[in-house]
Structure 1
Amino acid sequence: MTYCVGMLLSSGLVMLSDSRTNAGMDHISTFRKMFVWEVPGERVITLMTAGNLSISQTVVNLLKERIAEGGESAETLLNATSMFRVAQLVGDAVGQARKMYGEALEAESRGFNVSLILGGQIKGRGLRLFQIYSAGNFIEATVETPYFQVGETKYGKPILDRVLNHNTPLTGAMKLALISMDSTLRSNTSVGAPLNLVVYERDALTLAMNRIIREDEPYFHTIRHMWSNALHNAYVDLPEPDWRQTSFDV
């Protein structure tokens, strides 16, 4: 399992992923799930993957092979004219992977399971964020729906729904992404560090941040501790229920 979250904001983009894969208790490994294609001053593209590891690796390698072998005549992530076309290329790679392995996976009752978050900007075009499904189709983030999650989403969703909006500043979104990840780390052992964090400022056409965050990273450790204390204190401060003098119909 994994957890990835991408946020489309008025000021830019924040994307965060874990790196744990779990194929049973005896097969827990670390694999990177965030991939970046950057041509400074021209385009920044970030892709995060969840689901079957072999499928997601196949999709990423198909995209890389197309860049390496396609030449100038082939349309790739590095020369597509819009993020919409990039999303279509990623969807096409998902479809190609399905043709390669879908039937065999279905025969083993495993199913074809992959989901992706794609974000970025190309010079002269807008900043965009997409979620791509196993069929290769996709949806786009909006002002009203400014984030996507894939993988183990339920633990980190409540904090995003309560606080995040399109005008949240990048630093605030980084905090929310890390708190959302921490909630998932605490509740699901199949999600784990190190984490990969990308921060992009709108129209910059170069990344503001691309770093690995480990569980012992001082800032991450601090906000995890402070968030836990804040939740405990909020719980303690809530008024007690006064139901003893109330009768209920049964």
Structure 2
Amino acid sequence: MTYCVAMRLDAGLVFLSDSRTNAGVDAISTARKMTVFEEPGDRVMVLLTAGNLAISQSVRQILAENHDEKRSLWNARDMFEAASIVGEAVRQVHKRDAHALRDAGIEFNVSLVFGGQIRGERVRLFNIYAAGNFVEATPENCYFQIGEAKYGKPIIDRVVHPSLPLGEAAKCALISMDSTLKSNISVGLPLDLLVYEADSLRVTRFVNIDERNTYFRMIRDTWGHRLRQVFGEIQNPEWNPTEPAEFPLARAGEPDCWGQPVRARRNPSRTQE
């Protein structure tokens, strides 16, 4: 399993991926989930992958080797065409491998996030599915997650919006990743973080993060401490025994009402037996 997140903002794009692969408790390894396709001054495209590693590596290989083809990422006219080319690569792998995988009882499982900018158009971000179809990020939904998304989603939902500066978005992505690392052993270090500034048409901000990274260690320590601090500052619930409950427990001899808990009582006669 893995966790990847990408954000499309007014100022550019943020991509973050972990590197853990898991084929069982005794077969844990690392593999990069981020691939960068760059032609400085003309285009920068980033691919994040989750799911079956053999499938995602095959898709990536097809895209990388099509450098001289008439239709490839290197000569796509815009990001929509580039996303279509990625979807076609997924379908090509499906056509080749899906039947054999099905015979082996394995699902064709892959999900991709693909984004970037080609000279002459805006930055764009897509979520590409196992069928090769895709959806594009919008101002109302400006980020995508793949893999173990549930643990890191709450912080992104509360913080990220299109006008958020790139630095703050990168910080939010790292907190989201830390929350996932804390709760799920199938996601692990090292991480790849790429921040793309709109219209730069080159990679200028990239870092590989391991357990020795000072900033990420600060994020982990500070976020955990501040969460506990805020939690302690929130008032505990108060119980007033003089006020009847809005939905009281059903009393003996009364029928149970929908939405009320069932009260079970010990039968004294049975206890004496």
**TM-score scaled by length of structure 2:** 0.88
Q: Runs of 5+ in structure 2 lacking a partner?
A: 250-273
Distance across 1 between alignment mates of 2:211 and 2:12: 25
Match of residue 99 from structure 1: 95
Match of residue 108 from structure 2: 112
Distance across 2 between alignment mates of 1:112 and 1:154: 22
Distance across 2 between alignment mates of 1:243 and 1:109: 54
Superposition RMSD on alpha carbons, in Å?
A: 0.9
* Superposed CA offset, 1:191-223 (max 9, x none): 001000111111111122122011220000001
Distance across 2 between alignment mates of 1:65 and 1:41: 21
Match of residue 270 from structure 2: none
Match of residue 58 from structure 1: 58
Match of residue 42 from structure 1: 42
Q: One-letter code of the match for 1:54?
A: A
Distance across 2 between alignment mates of 1:191 and 1:61: 24
Match of residue 152 from structure 2: 156
Comparing 205-214 with 228-237, greater Cα deviation is found at 205-214
Counterpart pick for 2:174 among 172, 175, 178: 178
Q: Secondary structure at the match of 1:224?
A: helix
Q: One-letter code of the match for 2:188?
A: G
Q: One-letter code of the match for 1:31?
A: A
* Superposed CA offset, 1:19-50 (max 9, x none): 00000001000000000011111100000000
Match of residue 197 from structure 2: 201
Counterpart pick for 2:141 among 139, 145, 170: 145
Alignment map for 1:219-238 (pairs within 5 Å): 219-238=215-234
Match of residue 6 from structure 2: 6
Deviation at 1:92, TM superposition (A): 0.2
Distance across 1 between alignment mates of 2:113 and 2:18: 13
Q: Secondary structure at the match of 1:41?
A: coil
Deviation at 1:247, TM superposition (A): 3.3
Distance across 2 between alignment mates of 1:51 and 1:122: 27
Deviation at 1:244, TM superposition (A): 4.2
Q: Secondary structure at the match of 1:75?
A: coil
Spell out structure 1 runs of 4+ moving beyond 4 A: none
Q: Secondary structure at the match of 2:163?
A: coil
Counterpart pick for 2:244 among 224, 238, 247: 247
Distance across 2 between alignment mates of 1:244 and 1:132: 53
**TM-score scaled by length of structure 1:** 0.96
Deviation at 1:116, TM superposition (A): 0.3
Q: Secondary structure at the match of 1:76?
A: coil
Alignment map for 1:11-22 (pairs within 5 Å): 11-22=11-22
Q: Which has the larger radius of gyration?
A: 2
Alignment map for 1:130-141 (pairs within 5 Å): 130-141=126-137
Q: Secondary structure at the match of 2:66?
A: helix
Tell me which of the two structures has the higher relative contact order, counting C-alpha pairs closer than 8 angstroms and 6 or more residues apart.
Answer: 1
